[in-house]
Amino acid sequence: MNDLTGKVAVVTGGNSGIGYATAKQFKEAGAQVIITGRDADKVATAAFELGVTGIVADVINLTAIDNLVEQIKADFAKIDILFVNAGIFSPAPVGQASEEMFDNQMGINFKGAVFTIEKFLPLINDSGSIINLSSINAYTGMPNTAIYAASKAALNSYTRTAATELAPRKIRVNAVNPGPVYTPIFAKTGMAEEQLSEFSAAIESRIPLKRFGQPEDIAKLVSFLASDDASFITGSEYNIDGGINVNPII
């Protein structure tokens, strides 16, 4: 396991799914962990289960990010790892995208991610690590994901430039692009249970490894990128998708 002893790590959206699994992985590797989320009850429950610090913050609200940063500064002074994980997925075909849906997805997935990084930068120790959770949808052209995909493509572009500009501080910035993963994000799309089952079956049949990923699969990669074992890796994107991105027609 990658050693994170003595590191302080922040995981946004850490109360469920990939964020939860990564917070658990970080803690098991020796880090002090702070998770954030929008729902106070869910954050409190996850923090108790994981044995970590939980703070309520909605990344679509820049004032909330400011307050989050100030609280972590007061309690921990500095951090070493920032996993920008909070995000939403709202499917809609081209021609039916509402302004509200656009604003929410871009506001959380891109604007929220960017300003989480911007506002945390003064707290991140030199030689720290920032990992952005993106998606292979940034490249696939998958139907009904145009706005979601655009938000993740924008985040990947930001990642590359941030990696270049933060290199003098030895802060590494990388992106992780998961493919289909079993997380609660799908249940929040508003799709009926039957639609979700049909959608999941159609996607799984196209994955060369013939299974969805698990949050723990992603957590292990994020933990590696957060560790000193990845000290020569920055500005990179890692697809972790069971092979679907290189075999899209299977």
pLDDT tens digits, 122-138? 999 999 999 999 999 99
**Whole-number Å distance between alpha carbons of 242 and 179:** 7
Instruction: Determine whether 148 is an active site residue.
Output: yes
Domain contains 58: yes
Q: What percent of the chain has pLDDT over 70?
A: 93
Q: Is residue 3 part of a domain?
A: no
What pLDDT is stored for residue 236 in this prediction?
A: 98
Active-site annotation holder among 148, 158, 182, 238: 148
Our count of domains for the chain comes to 1
pLDDT score of 25: 98
Is 249 part of any domain?
no
pLDDT confidence tier of residue 232, bands split at 50, 70 and 90: very high
**Domain-embedded: residue 26:** yes
Give tens-digit pLDDT for 47-67: 999 999 999 999 999 999 999
- The CATH number linked to 218 is 3.40.50.720
Q: Give the tens place of pLDDT for each residue, 70-126.
A: 999 999 999 999 999 999 999 999 999 999 999 999 999 999 999 999 999 999 999
Flag whether 89 is in a domain.
yes
- Per-residue pLDDT band for 250 (boundaries 50, 70, 90) equals very low
pTM here?
A: 0.92
Lowest mean pLDDT among 36-45, 75-84, 210-219: 210-219
> Is 49 part of any domain?
yes
Domain, as residue range, for 226: 8-240
Q: Mutual orientation of helices 215-226 and 17-28 as an angle, nearest 10°?
A: 50
Mean pLDDT of the chain: 93
In a domain, 246, yes or no: no
Give the sign of the dihedral formed by CA 203, CA 204, CA 208, CA 211: positive
Q: Is residue 221 part of a domain?
A: yes
